[in-house]
Amino acid sequence: MRIAMLGSGFIGRFYAESLQGQRSRDRIVSIYSRRETSAKKFASDYGCAHWTTEMEEAIARPDVEVVCISLPNNLHEQAVLLCCKHKKAVITTKPLGRNAIEARRMLEAVEKAGIFNGYLEDLVYTPKFLKALESVKNGALGRILWSKSRETHPGPHSDWFWDLEQAGGGCILDLGCHCVEIARNFIGKDIKPVEVMCWADTQVKPIEAEDHAIGLVKYETGAIGQFEVSWTFRGGLDLRDEVMGTEGTIWINNFLRTGFEMFTTGKGADYVSEKTESNTGWLFPVGDEMNDLGYNHMFTDMFNSIEKGIAPKETFYDGYVVNEIMDACYRSSKTKKWEPVNLEIWRGKDKSEPIHAVGDYDAGHYLVKKETMPDGSVKVILKDKKTGVISQTVIGNR
Ligand SMILES: NC(=O)c1ccc[n+]([C@@H]2O[C@H](COP(=O)([O-])OP(=O)(O)OC[C@H]3O[C@@H](n4cnc5c(N)ncnc54)[C@H](O)[C@@H]3O)[C@@H](O)[C@H]2O)c1
């Protein structure tokens, strides 16, 4: 693939490392950056033949097959509309929009233009996530009841994130978008998110947006997607997922305490991993950030899909649904009530049955619980199907 990269900052460089890493044939052929010095530096670092400080110039180039948007949130829509104008495949970083209205406009524009659109939600492409999702899809966890995802760190690395107008929100929008999409994947993207309850506050930073939030997203089956996000967490980048189903559980730690621990006095200390706050003492480095954060698998899915003429796993539609959920979270954080998710565009199931996983013990009883006790006996707790009476029976020695 021949790529135009828009933006030469933090994520533009991460994407470039992934896109051109190992023995990749994909090349960034044009870089747009608002400052000439940054554009030239990026072009030189990644061997781009062309650089420009004019966004449209990069997009319109005949050699460009796909445009990768790595710009601040307030510039996503402008860039997407230019891709529609020039009929270029477009992939954009998260969040799709600053709100659902912007996201919906972008979704409608790419579909009207008939161009390929991919939503770069890397955290549903990490090797651990892909393996976990496969287990969930195979039924290893039974019916999914609850998916919890946590993304917290000490705050973003550029001025625009902290400005409500440019960013569109605080940590809910910046980090919650990852968590919401992780939960949607585990619970089922075709199951409708119906309502949300969210607490958000600005506790530490001198900003208008929230720096700390917790939210519950209720799905039509009754499953709950929970997110915990913060720009005030100390100690690095905490990225953890938990999934609970009627038959099993998954815990994933993506970044801290992944099995790689290192101590250093600080001699020769350098970059350790994203948002790590210290480079001395006990550290938790990440072996391969590009791979462990999902960038490699994400671009593989995007480019394979472009070549096959099919939609990738994550599209602008997914980005739009995530924005609608987050808009509802913002409403709930103000009203302090459950707020409906107003999905004006919904392409999943019209109706999903509530989770009901009662198991039969025998013709007359439901099984409530079975447990092996310390003395080796097995205690069985039952509910009478007719009377509703709960009883217990003990099998074995006591
Ligand atoms: N894991 C992820 O998926 C992930 C991680 C970080 C950031 N992001 C997303 O990537 C996007 C960019 O974030 P970042 O961390 O790279 O930010 P950044 O500040 O590091 O880089 C932003 C880039 O946009 C340019 N830019 C800033 N203001 C501009 C303007 N007014 N006009 C033109 N160019 C401008 C900057 O010069 C820079 O090249 C955001 O949407 C962010 O949410 C995604």
Q: Is 160 in the pocket of ligand 1 (CB under 6 A)?
A: yes
Output the pLDDT for position 301: 98
Pocket probe mutation, ligand 1, options 18, 52, 54, 70, max atoms within 8 Å of Cβ: 70
Q: pLDDT, tens digit, for every residue of 311-322?
A: 999 999 999 999
pLDDT tens digits, one per residue of 104-114:
999 999 999 99
Instruction: Determine which residue's CA is closest to atom 28 belonging to ligand 1.
Output: 72
Q: How far is the CA of 219 from the centre of ligand 1 (A)?
A: 32
What is the average pLDDT across 31-57? 98
Pocket test for ligand 1, best of 71, 73, 157 (most atoms within 8 A of CB): 71
Sign (positive or negative) of CA dihedral 207, 213, 218, 219: positive
Please give the mean pLDDT across all residues of the chain.
96
Would you tell me the crossing angle of helices 36-46 and 10-19 to the nearest 10 degrees?
Answer: 20
Q: Which of ligand 1's atoms lies nearest the C-alpha of 13? A: 16
* Average pLDDT of the segment spanning 33-59: 98
Has residue 55 got a pLDDT over 70? Answer: yes
CB 70 near ligand 1, within 6 Å: yes
Q: How far is the CA of 392 from the centre of ligand 1 (A)?
A: 60
Cβ atoms of 176 and 150 closer than 8 Å: no
Q: Among residues of the chain, what percentage have pLDDT more than 90?
A: 95
Give pLDDT, residue 47.
97
**Region for residue 168 given its phi and psi (left: phi exceeds 0; alpha: psi -120 to 50; beta: otherwise):** left
> Could you give the strand order of the β-sheet that contains 66-69, starting from the edge strand earlier in sequence?
50-52, 27-32, 2-6, 66-69, 89-93, 117-120
The average pLDDT across 185-205 equals 98
Q: Which domains does the chain have, with CATH numbers?
A: 2-123 (3.40.50.720), 125-290+311-340 (3.30.360.10), 359-395 (no CATH)
**For residues 121 and 101, is the Cβ–Cβ distance under 8 A?**
no
Would the CB of 71 count as within 6 Å of ligand 1? Answer: yes
- Minimum CA distance residue for ligand 1 atom 1: 122
Confidence of residue 398 (pLDDT cuts 50, 70, 90): low
